[in-house]
Amino acid sequence: AITNKLVQLNGHLCRQLCSQTLGLIAAHTVVCREHFTPELALRLITPECSLFYARPGESSSFSELPFSDPFWGFYWPGGQALARHLLDNPGRVRGRRVIDVGCGCGAAGIAALMAGAASVIFNDIDQVALEATRLNLSINQLDHTDGAIAATGQRVQFVSYDLIGQWPPLCTANEQPQVMLIGDLFYSEEAAARLADWALKAAAGGRPRGSAAAEVLVGDPGRYYFRLAAERANLRLLARYCLPSEFMYEAGPGTGAVGVYATMPKAADTNGARPELGTID
């Protein structure tokens, strides 16, 4: 009886914290469609928001802000291109199981659901990002109940621990993903190396023997560490998008062309040609 009461109390506290987090996200963001995928309404940190201008060390009030590193509040260019590609090419995910790695605001996974994916795992090590994703699912009238099958037959799942290196991911049981989405995660040498090796493992099928391969789709504007990892991950360019400058402010100056790439198993690359990598920022 005591155990049941503790479980109920923990559940109540979790729901209360989630409700508070959703309220803070709503208070410090605006619903925005001014991006490369206007089909998606997303709660984002824009120039209209005070949080947009907050910087560590520049304001005595920075420590008082509710989020110390709200990366989930920005629609990064690789994610925009990746989501655009899925909406324009729904056959890549229709009826398939998808995992959105480092999902941030959840845009790529939401685009996959809109394109007809059977299920999407939203994965991010920041619990606030997952709450932001739940909010964005709701705004776009998509079910956001963890593990439940919606009226459309689609299912979503939220995973907050680091999955990089696991293939198939332990959280997927007997329904491992068929498509992996990676947007704008090549931000350091270590992250790029881990992602490149993991992408190859997923594209080849990984272990245990007999585990199915996945199609790995990557969106990136050609950042330095992405370039270093691209050949290692055997990436090939699928599409290049030129984002308007007003959609690119998050990535810094000098960007514009954003690529969507697919990872091929090494054995499949028989012509010896180096993959086209697109534009460096």
What is the predicted pLDDT for the residue at 172?
66
Q: Is the dihedral of CA 120, 125, 127, 132 positive or negative?
A: negative
What is the predicted pLDDT for the residue at 76?
95
CATH architecture, domain 73-263: 3-Layer(aba) Sandwich (3.40)
**Secondary structure tally for the chain: helices H, strands E:** 6, 9
Domain positions in the chain are 1-70, 73-263
Please say whether the beta carbons of 78 and 221 come within 8 A: yes
Angle made by CA atoms 140, 52, 123, in degrees to the nearest 5? 45
Going residue by residue through the chain, which has 281 residues, state the pLDDT in tens, using 9 for 90 and above: 554 443 344 444 455 567 788 999 999 999 999 999 999 999 999 999 988 888 765 554 445 667 878 999 999 999 999 999 999 999 999 999 999 999 999 999 999 999 999 999 999 999 999 999 999 999 999 998 888 888 888 999 999 999 998 888 877 666 789 999 999 999 999 999 999 999 999 988 755 555 678 999 999 999 999 998 998 899 999 999 999 888 876 544 445 799 999 987 665 444 444 445 443 33
Question: pTM for the full model?
Answer: 0.86
Question: Parallel, antiparallel, or unpaired for β 97-101 and 179-183?
Answer: parallel
Query: Is residue 266 classed as helix, strand or coil in its secondary structure?
Result: helix
User: Which residues, 6+ apart, have CB-to-CB distance to 199 below 8 Å?
Assistant: 180, 182, 216, 218, 233, 263
Phi, psi of 260 (to 5 degrees): -115, 130
Report d(CA 138, CA 143) in Å as an integer: 7
Phi, psi of 149 (to 5 degrees): -90, 120
Query: Is residue 74 classed as helix, strand or coil in its secondary structure?
Result: coil
End-to-end CA gap in the chain = 60
Please say whether the beta carbons of 108 and 87 come within 8 A: no
Strand order in the sheet with 97-101: 155-159, 119-123, 97-101, 179-183, 215-220, 257-263, 235-242
What is the predicted pLDDT for the residue at 211?
67
What is the number of alpha carbons within 13 Å of residue 34 lying toward its C-beta? 13
Nearest-Å Rg of the Cα atoms of the chain is 19
Please say whether the beta carbons of 104 and 129 come within 8 A: yes
Comparing CA positions, the residue from 36, 142, 124 lying closest to residue 80 is 36
What is the predicted pLDDT for the residue at 42?
98
What is the predicted pLDDT for the residue at 264?
74
